[in-house]
Structure 1
């Protein structure tokens, strides 16, 4: 199973952001994956990622 969250944090206040992050963290499991696309570090302050890739200029730089 794959969940794709594409800029889910856009326009959210901190309380709503924490609600989204709590939902993702609650649904974490060995048989589930999430692809989270964001422009903001703040979401990653609340979601516990296994891997983070940074895209710049159309290339993964980290």
Structure 2
């Protein structure tokens, strides 16, 4: 949660919304090639594979 003055509430991590679907939840590597399909995820760095719903969301 972000307050109007820009502070982030304790216990919350601010995420940039851009490219979050391409970011690996295991190693945080971000690359367009990590998403070979709309419903699939395969990290080109660590090899983590998973369904879209298992990835971290903002």
TM-score (norm 2): 0.22
Q: Identify, as 1 or 2, the structure richer in strand.
A: 1
* Higher-Rg member (1/2): 2
- Answer 1 or 2: higher relative contact order, Cα 8 Å, separation at least 6: 1
